[in-house]
Structure 1
Amino acid sequence: MRKCFFLFTLLVFLIFEVSAQLKTYKGQVIDAQNKEPIAFANIVYSQGAGTVTDIDGKFEIRTNVKVTQLSVSCLGYEPQIYLVNDLDGKNKILLKPQEYSLPTVDVLPVENPALIVMRQVVDKKDQHNPENYNPYSCILYHKMTLDFEWPNGLNEEEIREIKDSLGVNNDSYLFLFESVSEKKHWKKGVGKEKVISGRVSGLKDPILASFPAMLQPFSFYEQYIKLLGFSYLNPASKPGLSTYHFVLEDTYGSSDGDSIYYISYRPKKDKNFRGLTGAFHIDGKSKAIRTVSATTAGTENGMRLFVRQKYQAISNGLWFPKQLESSLQFGGIGAARRLPFPMVGTGKSYVTAINTSPDISAKEFDNVIMEDISSTKSSQEISAFRYEPLTARDSLTYHILDSIGRKNHLDALIKTQMSFVKGYLPMGKLQLDLSKLIDYNDYEGLKLGAGIYTSPSLSENFTTGGYYTYGFGDKASKYGAKLSVTPFAKKDSRIYLEYKDDVYATGTYEFMDGVKNLSSERFSRFLTETMDLSQGWATGVDFRFLKFFKAGVFYVNQDIAPQVAYKFMESDIVANGFSMQEAGIKLRWANKEMFISSPLGLISKGTSWPTVWFNASKGQWKDDETLGYSRIESRIHKQFNYANSMYTTVRLEGGYMSGDYPSTLLYSTLGSYKSFTLLVPYTFGTMRMNEFAASEFAALYFSHGIPLSLNTDNRIKPEIVLSTNIALGNAPNGVSTFDKGYYESGIYLKNLFSNFIFQYGLSVHYRYGAYHLPESMDNWAFKLGLEFVF
């Protein structure tokens, strides 16, 4: 008993003695010019022992060794040595940004030590990637500010004068976002992040609260890091090992006695790919990423993104993100209109409440990976989740902007802008369909009209209304009405009933969600020369099933009246009118396609798998007698992306009709030729409008893109796109078809000029093979490329 008491007393004494000798040194490293914290700066304090600042530039050293000086360094800053006794009372360490740098010449040994470490990181990345972990959950607190970035050299008084001239309060931010999200993960590829609370300065409704959560990825282990809508090759990947240049900047010991490798990286000069620059802190024992900082090596549409992530080791050798930071810098809007100074959005996220044994099940997950419910009545106040209290500047920002928001009705303005993006102008319980106001095609000419429908403010579960348009080319009126019910909005489903007295392009066919809203494929409607009049009604149901399938079942009953003679027919006689009924199904399969549920609706994150469409229908029509037919159409689309940022796009498409069918149904809209017009992807640019038709056909659209000037700040980043299109078809006697094979190839110089909305380019295509035209110039097609920036 005495021995036990003696040992216990000795143990307590030793612990007390060690604790008494253990000293704590705290501080913060900040930028000497803009006074912003510097994340992931190196702090070496004793014989190679060191630590790293966190995302707020703060550090803490606990050691029983007396510390007399701190060696502080970070990429992009001049290294400094600080005597502990010389630090001010706030323990602020100032680092000066490097104002210039000489061309880097790295003299490396035969085997680059940094590359050796990075190979080990890549070999073990699967075991450190949170995407591969068993079920887990966590809470993330996001905070983002928006403000001007002032030029270096301006003092506080000069900045205050500039802000006063711009009407900006000197002591607040331009904008402030806060949100909290709950992240749940089941297995690789199956997870969801739900924004459960939020606040946006100037707005009562936190409708934009999810924006900071979407700005950067949760971890840095995938082969491609998606930023600003582009895919950047990760330096910590197998292709990245050969395309990036790595330098071992420093090695020091951590507080637990392990080594930490500080490795910088940048794209190799002889490699053309969309890359990043920055640095890693690598854990010496596990070869896991402790911290990573990454900056887009070039700008995209005038924007540059900075990303920083810090990881923490938890039980069972797992590493989780602890702190995330992102900064978005942009300085121009449009080609002529620019901001007076660059603007920077700076966001920080803190990961808390990590649970590696959560009570969740696979039933909680679907193909929506992010959902914002912060605007619902069930959401809690953001104050219940704040990781840290608001600063005085934060509180002032809320006070000023909330007052401005109430006075100027910013909530209504934001919602109006979002309706514009969807194509509608809200008018209380109604909304105006902007697409019906003005339009054009070569058959109807200029079209003017109006469409009025009920708005979501009346009901989010149904909409009804109608439209009227008048074509000045065909001098005819058209109109229609529609009722659409969405009983399960989150399931992307609807039941519809519609009536139309309108024209449609001859020989067309459509797939379920086959064309994106802002795709230049929609420009094909401008070129339409041949149309038929349709009077009748249609009904159907669209719905999702088995997670990655979407289907539509439809029935159409209409009277068709051809308006002009079809160019693909040998006869110049206008076909007789007839009545027609058709029923069918449309399917779309996009395996592993994920969505973000936002105030703008479901936004697709895409898929690396091929997307497949399939239509099947049966119909009958009556002219002198009742005749029946069947038809099917299919499409497969896939884009292959490469480490050097080149890409190959392949689309296979075809259709087949059997039985007795009217000539209006013959597939005749593959061409898009005009003497000089807009480029329409996935059409034959040298084939005349309705020049050919087919009752059965197959088409291949192949293109290969070569981006240029990627890792530069050039505003214009052109691409060379090489393409070849091939089609083979068959048709009954009396119909011009392409049974001998139609061939064309071309080159598209993409993004030769851009503004805030569009990118412009030029293309030329050449027609060859069996349908080569006698006049040489008739085989060439010159087009203007026009694509939306976003």
Structure 2
Amino acid sequence: MKVSSIILLLFLQFCQLVSTAQTYKGIVADEQTKEPIAFVNIVYSEGAGTVTDIDGRFEIRTNIEVTEFRVSCLGYEPKVIDVSEFANKATIYLQPLEYHLPAVNVLPTENPAVIIMKQVVKNRYRHNPDNYDPFSCIIYHKMTLDFEWPSNLSLEERAELRDSLGLINDSFLFLFESVSEKKHVKKGVGKEKILSGRVSGLKDPILASFPAMLQPFSFYNQYVKLLGYSYLNPASKPGLAAYQFVLEDTYTTATNDSIYYISYRPRNDKNFRGLTGAFHIDGSSFAIKTVSATTAGTENGMRLFIRQNYQPVANGAWYPKQLESSLELGGMGALRKLPFPLVGKGKSYVTAINTQPQFSAKEFDNVVMEDLNIADDAPDIAHFRYEPLTARDSLTYQYLDSIGRKNHLDAILKTQISLVKGYVPMGKLQLDVSRLIDYNDYEGLKLGAGLYTSPRLSKNFSTGGYYTYGFGDKASKYGLEFTLSPFRNKENRLYVKYQDDVYATGSFEFIDGVKALSSERFSRFLTETMDLSRGWTTGAEFRFVKYFKAGIYYSNHELNPQRSYRFVVDGNVAPAFEMNEVGLKLKWANKETFSNSPLGKISNGTNWPVVWLNASAGRWASDSQYEYTRLESRVHKRFNYPNSMYTVLRFEGGYMSGDYPSTLLYSALGSYKSFTVLVPYTFGTMRLNEFGANRFTAMYFSHGFPLGLNTNNRIKPEIVVSTNVAFGDAPVGISTINKGYYESGLYLKNLFSNFIFQYGLSVHYRYGTYRLPEAIDNWAFKLGLEFAF
């Protein structure tokens, strides 16, 4: 047979196949909300099927005679549709179920779903995009915020409610859009930049990056970070034992690839922060094809639901293609007054995947998320839209933008962000709100004000000062400061400051030692012994070698003790003296990453221990001149476990040599009051300045047991047990702890809460050599107070 005849025969056979092939297209949606449903199983012949994409769409091309569609999805009633009743491109509606967790069946052999999930876990390293060779992609994010209306409300009732709230019928409450560029070099090294964005009602897209922060890029790490919490991944080694898996369905695609549909939920006998949802697993590679996950319990009144859809690209690599999230806000703070929960629904589309990009090492630092869309030269989001705006989207922008201009929403939002940062903008000046009101046991109530230049005047320098008055010590204090930051977007500054103020006796500070919203800051309320300091300090702070931060300084101060120190046996007030000191401060936080946001540079933390070191040398003069050296160090590490329990260890120490005044002795380890607020990493039963030391070592140990994690209870208490130990030494005439100071405690954390604070109660007991004669004096009862966000 001639070649031309063979080609003709093949062509005729191909035409026959095309003529007999059938195509079915459609959308699957929720019967009540009319919203599309992602990842719905559609089986159209014995063993053959497909799954809807994140927009609820499906397309079937087959030569097999199709008589019916079997449509199923977790949380919905299954449906069978006769193909003769199906109009092409039609919408199939599924009725939601009142969701009940299925009963756990005890099988005589190993659960087939677990066998499949073990293969997923075994192959997770090669399928995790975080482990791939360099790649880049563009991600378009879109999110709407609106009320979750009850399904039994008629359209007329819904319209009346929206009208009563000042809303028009067809608009969303809010609409967010953004586009980001993600660049990845190797495991742990990458960056995502928000290039452009738009937020309804706002001229500046300050909040446009919010949808990009709701869920991770992939679902393969042992912990999935959602809402600021770490959830145990069911597709992980510890997850295999912590979750119940059910093989719901198995079918083959048009290319004869097997697809396993597996649901999961936390086991009833396990207590950990878990998820519920389902996987579609590719049978040939055991890669995750789709995943849906819902937080098993609410966190501060919030629940998050995410979906991810993966696609194979090249060399067996599977990249996310579509990401979806649904954030339900209800019962938190002022939102409790709203008639219905607020729900934010977002979708992200991954495009322009490049597996052979050209990167420069200078592009990557410890900032993994950077918001560039608020820059004046940021491109218009319209250039990046994955799909055109709907009529409802356009109406939302038109309506809310007019409201935003009329009510100056941009100015209001910027003021609120400034308040979170600690200042109020006043044109080219800014008011330091932290100086307005304060309190401690020595100064009593403090009132004052601080005024500094703002970034509107210059982003490279600032200058200003503060004034405060203490009604307890009846004294005024003030300070002046000039700061220069020569390199924009870098952690560097040069400073000179003069202060006439008081400072806690026997204390010391590390660079970036206490977070802004940490309850460690409550220690300042308890200070009862302070020293007056007049003088100036100059220095510099900078980051180097990516994970190191350093500070150097020189100071000249006149120190004047105001009271006798409790740790001094004779009780005399120390004489005033002049002190010159030069010092170096270091911080090492390996693998620590940051996100640049409108609120500033925010740490994402690190799984490594964080290490601090201070080294200083000084000279002081009273009747004669003396020299001394000081070293202080701290190591801090938190250990997280799959069952959501955790252990925190902190070691701290100080060493002083030479001739030094008693003012410099380490004496600020205690935080005891008859009943006061709990200050972590202090000795709750030790009196303030009860002991002094020229060298000491302290260990703080705590272990937490979270309770009621996978519930909708607003209050989720934790039991925290702790033990603190310290050893110290000091010269003759100083009360010290050379025989070892011991205390243990129990902290019932988060017993009740509001939108801002979580409250608890703690009790600590002092024992060992320094146990006090009266039994009751060895106990300390405290109120636990922590920020809820």
**For residues 523 and 617 of structure 1, do their structure 2 counterparts lie closer, same or farther at Cα, with a shift above 3 Å needed?**
same
In 2, Cα distance between the equivalents of 1:57 and 1:180? 22
In 2, Cα distance between the equivalents of 1:425 and 1:359? 43
Which letter does structure 2 place at the counterpart of 1:382?
A: I
Which letter does structure 2 place at the counterpart of 1:76?
A: G
Which letter does structure 1 place at the counterpart of 2:380?
A: E
Q: Write the deviation string for residues 702-734 of structure 1: whole angstroms up to 9, x where unpaired.
A: 000000000000000000000000000000011
Q: Is 1:225–2:224 an aligned residue pair?
A: yes
Q: Which runs of 4+ in 1 moved over 4 A?
A: none
Per the TM alignment, residue 459 of structure 1 is displaced from its structure 2 partner at its CA by 1.6
**1:510-589 mapped onto 2 (5 Å cutoff):** 510-589=509-588
Equivalent position of 2:687 in the other structure:
688
Equivalent position of 2:451 in the other structure:
452
Per the TM alignment, residue 377 of structure 1 is displaced from its structure 2 partner at its CA by 2.9
**1:426-441 mapped onto 2 (5 Å cutoff):** 426-441=425-440
Q: How many residues are paired up?
A: 789
Which letter does structure 2 place at the counterpart of 1:226?
A: K
Secondary structure at the residue paired with 1:415? helix
**1:372-387 mapped onto 2 (5 Å cutoff):** 372-387=371-386
Equivalent position of 2:348 in the other structure:
349
Equivalent position of 2:647 in the other structure:
648
**For residues 776 and 489 of structure 1, do their structure 2 counterparts lie closer, same or farther at Cα, with a shift above 3 Å needed?**
farther
Secondary structure at the residue paired with 1:317? coil
Task: Please identify, of 620-629 and 60-69, the stretch whose mean Cα deviation from structure 2 is larger.
Answer: 60-69
**For residues 158 and 88 of structure 1, do their structure 2 counterparts lie closer, same or farther at Cα, with a shift above 3 Å needed?**
farther
User: For structure 2, which runs of at least 5 residues remain unmatched after alignment?
Assistant: none
Per the TM alignment, residue 100 of structure 1 is displaced from its structure 2 partner at its CA by 5.4
Equivalent position of 2:284 in the other structure:
285
Per the TM alignment, residue 96 of structure 1 is displaced from its structure 2 partner at its CA by 0.5
Whether the 8 Å contact between 1:333 and 1:339 is mirrored in structure 2 is: no
Task: Please identify, of 58-67 and 727-736, the stretch whose mean Cα deviation from structure 2 is larger.
Answer: 58-67
Equivalent position of 2:268 in the other structure:
269
Secondary structure at the residue paired with 1:150? coil
Whether the 8 Å contact between 1:143 and 1:212 is mirrored in structure 2 is: yes
Percent identity reads 71
Secondary structure at the residue paired with 2:431? strand
Per the TM alignment, residue 46 of structure 1 is displaced from its structure 2 partner at its CA by 1.1
In 2, Cα distance between the equivalents of 1:407 and 1:539? 47
Secondary structure at the residue paired with 2:575? coil
Equivalent position of 2:126 in the other structure:
127
Per the TM alignment, residue 109 of structure 1 is displaced from its structure 2 partner at its CA by 4.4
In 2, Cα distance between the equivalents of 1:398 and 1:178? 11
Which letter does structure 2 place at the counterpart of 1:423?
A: G
Equivalent position of 2:786 in the other structure:
787
Equivalent position of 1:154 in the other structure:
153
Secondary structure at the residue paired with 1:400? helix
**1:187-198 mapped onto 2 (5 Å cutoff):** 187-198=186-197
In 1, Cα distance between the equivalents of 2:336 and 2:268? 33
Per the TM alignment, residue 462 of structure 1 is displaced from its structure 2 partner at its CA by 1.3
Whether the 8 Å contact between 1:705 and 1:721 is mirrored in structure 2 is: yes
Equivalent position of 1:664 in the other structure:
663
Q: Is 1:5–2:42 an aligned residue pair?
A: no
Secondary structure at the residue paired with 1:717? coil
Which letter does structure 1 place at the counterpart of 2:323?
A: L
In 2, Cα distance between the equivalents of 1:11 and 1:763? 82
Secondary structure at the residue paired with 2:340? strand
In 1, Cα distance between the equivalents of 2:501 and 2:99? 66
Q: Is 1:215–2:214 an aligned residue pair?
A: yes
Per the TM alignment, residue 156 of structure 1 is displaced from its structure 2 partner at its CA by 1.6
**1:693-712 mapped onto 2 (5 Å cutoff):** 693-712=692-711
Per the TM alignment, residue 26 of structure 1 is displaced from its structure 2 partner at its CA by 0.7
**1:111-126 mapped onto 2 (5 Å cutoff):** 111-126=110-125
In 1, Cα distance between the equivalents of 2:280 and 2:19? 31
Secondary structure at the residue paired with 2:107? coil
Task: Please identify, of 87-96 and 224-233, the stretch whose mean Cα deviation from structure 2 is larger.
Answer: 87-96
Which letter does structure 2 place at the counterpart of 1:496?
A: Y
In 2, Cα distance between the equivalents of 1:71 and 1:103? 21
Per the TM alignment, residue 8 of structure 1 is displaced from its structure 2 partner at its CA by 2.4
Equivalent position of 2:325 in the other structure:
326
In 1, Cα distance between the equivalents of 2:325 and 2:51? 18
Equivalent position of 1:75 in the other structure:
74
Equivalent position of 1:750 in the other structure:
749
**1:193-204 mapped onto 2 (5 Å cutoff):** 193-204=192-203
**For residues 108 and 172 of structure 1, do their structure 2 counterparts lie closer, same or farther at Cα, with a shift above 3 Å needed?**
farther
In 1, Cα distance between the equivalents of 2:190 and 2:17? 46
Per the TM alignment, residue 363 of structure 1 is displaced from its structure 2 partner at its CA by 2.7
TM-score (norm 1): 0.99
Per the TM alignment, residue 104 of structure 1 is displaced from its structure 2 partner at its CA by 2.3
In 2, Cα distance between the equivalents of 1:285 and 1:753? 50
Which letter does structure 2 place at the counterpart of 1:308?
A: R
Secondary structure at the residue paired with 2:398? helix
**1:162-173 mapped onto 2 (5 Å cutoff):** 162-173=161-172
Q: Is 1:17–2:16 an aligned residue pair?
A: yes
Equivalent position of 2:294 in the other structure:
295
Secondary structure at the residue paired with 2:699? strand
Task: Please identify, of 363-372 and 507-516, the stretch whose mean Cα deviation from structure 2 is larger.
Answer: 363-372
**1:479-518 mapped onto 2 (5 Å cutoff):** 479-518=478-517
**1:44-55 mapped onto 2 (5 Å cutoff):** 44-55=43-54
Per the TM alignment, residue 167 of structure 1 is displaced from its structure 2 partner at its CA by 1.3
Per the TM alignment, residue 90 of structure 1 is displaced from its structure 2 partner at its CA by 5.0
Q: Write the deviation string for residues 502-550 of structure 1: whole angstroms up to 9, x where unpaired.
A: 0000111000100000000000000000000000011110000000000
User: For structure 1, which runs of at least 5 residues remain unmatched after alignment?
Assistant: none
Which letter does structure 1 place at the counterpart of 2:84?
A: N
Q: Write the deviation string for residues 152-208 of structure 1: whole angstroms up to 9, x where unpaired.
A: 311222211111111122101000000000000000000000111111111111111
In 2, Cα distance between the equivalents of 1:656 and 1:33? 69
TM-score (norm 2): 0.99
Which letter does structure 2 place at the counterpart of 1:500?
A: Q
**For residues 106 and 335 of structure 1, do their structure 2 counterparts lie closer, same or farther at Cα, with a shift above 3 Å needed?**
farther
In 1, Cα distance between the equivalents of 2:602 and 2:63? 54
**1:356-371 mapped onto 2 (5 Å cutoff):** 356-371=355-370
Per the TM alignment, residue 22 of structure 1 is displaced from its structure 2 partner at its CA by 2.0
Which letter does structure 2 place at the counterpart of 1:776?
A: A
Secondary structure at the residue paired with 1:315? coil
Which letter does structure 2 place at the counterpart of 1:391?
A: T
Whether the 8 Å contact between 1:560 and 1:577 is mirrored in structure 2 is: yes
Whether the 8 Å contact between 1:125 and 1:288 is mirrored in structure 2 is: yes
